[in-house]
């Protein structure tokens, strides 16, 4: 789950936040807003297959925010799933990928959901820095509550972790400032609105590709010699594992599970 670099909360009077189900006419603007993800992350096959289905099949879990002129300035996506279903019970190491799989498996089988997971918050480039991330996260909490849920969870992609790709996520996620709040800005937003850091999702997203594909996604040469090399990629939270002798590379991204009791 990604977002803008958080700023101060934006005054609520500047925004109109609704579900996409309530304002389907904003669907075109929703898609035109683009992605906040680095290109290589969009190659995650689970996200590639299932992300768009949230918009078409679960629009009541999709939020859109417009400013005073009616322009779309932010969006937020979430999905319902059955955390208490047999074989589950705890937030999965598979994080973002796994919760998407659970959500649409539950849709297919008619399983009653009991929890909502945040999937993405995106803020328009021209509106970043004004605290819209706070407003959208708070609106996701309110929407889940209005739909009858008592828990919102989030597989958070810490916004500054890419600056320390070799720091273990367990260490990074629990680093605190002197005031006791998380060191990471996006984790700090979650905690400020009531979230609690619960665990690390060790393999939240997985992206694999040939060396040629990785060169195209990143602009890097991916020419390091030796088996099992690691390549630091801009905006990646951990190094990419590269197997030059085999001609492929794999990125396994950890995220951080945050639980919000509503």
pLDDT tens digits along 12-41? 457 899 999 999 999 999 999 987 789 999
Whether 138 is covered by a domain: the verdict is: yes
Domain extent for 109: 12-203+255-261
Domain containing 158 — which CATH number?
3.40.630.30
Number of domains in the chain: 1
The helix, strand and coil proportions of the chain, stated in percent and rounded to the nearest 5, come to 35, 25, 40
Question: Which residue has tokens 């939020």?
Answer: 63
pLDDT at residue 11 greater than cutoff 50: no
pLDDT at residue 163 greater than cutoff 80: yes
Whether 73 is covered by a domain: the verdict is: yes
| Per-residue tokens: 6 | 């958080």
Whether 225 is covered by a domain: the verdict is: no
What's the pLDDT tens digit per position in 195-250? 999 999 999 999 999 999 999 999 999 987 665 689 999 999 999 999 888 899 99
| Per-residue tokens: 93 | 């190491």
Phi, psi of 208 (to 5 degrees): -125, 150
Whether 139 is covered by a domain: the verdict is: yes
What's the pLDDT tens digit per position in 175-186? 999 999 999 999
Confidence of residue 108 (pLDDT cuts 50, 70, 90): very high
Lowest mean pLDDT across 8-12, 57-61, 198-202 = 8-12
d(C-alpha 146, C-alpha 250), whole Å: 40
CA dihedral 84, 85, 90, 95 (to 10 degrees): -120
Whether 172 is covered by a domain: the verdict is: yes
Predicted local distance difference test score (pLDDT) of residue 28: 96
Predicted local distance difference test score (pLDDT) of residue 1: 61
Write down the pTM of the prediction.
0.93
Q: Which has more confidence, 43 or 227?
A: 43
Whether 249 is covered by a domain: the verdict is: no
Whether 31 is covered by a domain: the verdict is: yes
- The dihedral region occupied by 147, where left means phi > 0, alpha psi between -120 and 50, and beta the remainder, is alpha
Whether 226 is covered by a domain: the verdict is: no
Q: Which has more confidence, 1 or 177?
A: 177
Predicted local distance difference test score (pLDDT) of residue 227: 59
Sequence-distant (≥ 6) Cβ neighbours of residue 146 within 8 angstroms? none
Predicted local distance difference test score (pLDDT) of residue 223: 82
> What's the half-sphere exposure (Cβ side, CA atoms, 13 Å) at 100?
23
């Amino acid at each position: 789950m990604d977002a803008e670099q958080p700023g101060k909360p934006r005054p609520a009077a500047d925004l109109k936040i609704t579900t996409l189900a309530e304002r389907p006419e904003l669907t075109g603007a929703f898609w035109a807003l683009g992605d906040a993800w680095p290109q290589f992350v969009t190659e995650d096959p689970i996200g590639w297959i299932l992300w768009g289905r949230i918009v078409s099949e679960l629009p009541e879990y999709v939020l859109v925010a417009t400013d005073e002129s009616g322009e779309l300035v932010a969006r937020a996506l979430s999905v319902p799933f059955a955390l208490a279903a047999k074989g589950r019970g705890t937030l999965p190491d598979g994080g973002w990928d796994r919760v998407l799989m659970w959500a649409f498996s539950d849709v297919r089988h008619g399983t009653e959901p009991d929890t909502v997971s945040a999937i993405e918050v995106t803020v328009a480039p021209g509106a970043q820095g004004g605290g819209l991330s706070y407003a959208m996260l708070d609106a996701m909490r309110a929407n889940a509550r209005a739909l009858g849920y008592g828990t919102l969870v989030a597989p958070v992609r810490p916004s500054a972790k890419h600056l320390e790709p070799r720091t273990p996520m367990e260490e990074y996620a629990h680093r605190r400032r002197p005031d006791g709040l998380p060191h990471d800005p996006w984790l700090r937003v979650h905690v400020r609105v009531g979230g609690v850091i619960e665990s690390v999702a060790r393999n939240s997203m997985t992206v694999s590709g040939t060396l040629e594909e990785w060169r195209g996604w990143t602009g890097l040469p991916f020419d390091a010699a030796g088996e099992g090399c690691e390549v630091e990629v801009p905006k990646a939270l951990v190094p990419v594992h590269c197997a030059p002798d085999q001609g492929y590379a794999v990125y396994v991204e950890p995220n951080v599970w945050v639980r919000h009791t509503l």
